[in-house]
């Protein structure tokens, strides 16, 4: 009898709560009960959890098909800006994986999550509004928002204190193309619908996972492709992230530290080379990374 994964279930339920809270805060509507919380937050939380779940189940299904032993996904709750730090699965290799198996497991998640995230972005872009930025930048501190909520019962000021629709999102080449085509307006002037924002978050987490380092998905793909030569990549990626941190988004400092901590650890694998179609797919991931990467992904509107 298989053990029930209570930890995975508990973390998922907690992430359901935190992502709905994030969506409710973005809505700017008052919520005093769980019913109001879920009613106001589901348009962001459900599509985001769908994108994250599809990503992790891509890893899970492919690993199971190869006879490997993945855990169920661990969803990671987060602060109310988006409500989550993503999700991970733990790989427990019962044997030495082949290079092709490691490649397939690594690439399956980003590709599955990418497809769903782009679909959400396009769908949400149909419901988004093109609005002038002028007059929409008034913001408040957390203290102001708390006092306003206490006095009026409205959470509107939390959206302005924590970002919400007043965050300026970096527009990657792909986001510019999809939003511009569907919304018929420049992406920078579009106020994204929660569904579109969920797709944007899914793409952002995809590009982070595609970085070719450590136990990230891109690390698995690069390690399967390059073998021992993979060890040089973190030495190139860390300085680049530090430069991006100084020039744009401070969050890259956090990722530089994470990359240094992850290092180049990987399980031993059989040395047979990858076939031509897998090599072509690896280069497709490079193109994908370029299309969805943005040097300054998030910044406040003030």
Residue 192 and residue 200 in contact, taking contact as beta carbons nearer than 8 Å? yes
Residue 90 phi, psi (nearest 5): -105, 125
Task: Outline where the chain has alpha helix (H).
Answer: 6-27, 34-65, 99-126, 142-152, 156-162, 173-183, 194-209, 217-226, 233-247, 251-262, 276-292
Q: Give the CA angle between residues 250, 290, 90 to the nearest 5°.
A: 70
Mean pLDDT of 96-106: 87
pLDDT of residue 162: 53
pLDDT of residue 201: 95
Q: Which helix (H) or strand (E) holds 74?
A: strand 74-77
Cβ count within 10 A of residue 61: 15
Average pLDDT of the chain is 84
Two structure tokens written together for 199: 């797709």
Interhelix angle 99-126/276-292, nearest 10 degrees: 40
Band (pLDDT 50/70/90 cuts) for residue 156 is low
DSSP 190: E
pLDDT of residue 136: 44
């Amino acid at each position: 009898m298989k053990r029930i994964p209570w930890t995975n279930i508990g973390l998922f339920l907690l992430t359901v709560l935190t992502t709905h809270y994030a969506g409710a805060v973005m809505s700017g509507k008052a919520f005093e009960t769980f019913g109001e919380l879920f009613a106001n937050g589901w348009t962001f939380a459900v599509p985001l959890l769908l994108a994250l779940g599809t990503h992790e189940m891509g890893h899970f299904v492919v690993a199971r098909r190869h006879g490997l032993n993945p855990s169920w996904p661990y969803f990671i709750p987060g602060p109310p800006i988006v409500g989550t730090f993503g999700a991970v699965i733990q790989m427990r290799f019962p044997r030495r994986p082949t290079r092709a198996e490691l490649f397939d497991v690594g690439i399956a998640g980003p590709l599955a999550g990418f497809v769903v995230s782009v679909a959400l972005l396009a769908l949400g872009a149909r419901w988004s509004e093109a609005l002038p930025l002028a007059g929409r930048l008034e913001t408040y501190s957390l203290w102001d928002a708390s006092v306003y909520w206490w006095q009026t019962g409205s959470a509107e000021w939390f959206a302005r204190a924590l970002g919400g629709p007043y965050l300026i999102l970096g527009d990657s080449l792909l986001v510019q193309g999809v939003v511009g085509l569907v919304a018929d307006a420049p992406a920078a002037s579009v106020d994204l619908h929660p569904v579109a924002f969920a797709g944007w978050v899914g793409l952002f987490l995809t590009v982070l996972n595609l970085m070719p380092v450590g136990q990230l998905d891109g690390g698995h793909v690069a390690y399967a492709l390059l073998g021992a030569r993979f060890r040089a990549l973190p030495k190139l990626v860390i300085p680049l992230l530090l430069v991006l941190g100084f020039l744009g988004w401070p969050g890259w400092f956090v990722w530089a530290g994470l990359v240094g901590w992850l290092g180049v650890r990987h399980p031993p694998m059989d040395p047979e080379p990858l076939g031509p179609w897998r090599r072509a797919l690896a280069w497709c991931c490079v193109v994908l990374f370029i299309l969805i990467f943005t040097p300054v992904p998030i910044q406040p509107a003030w």
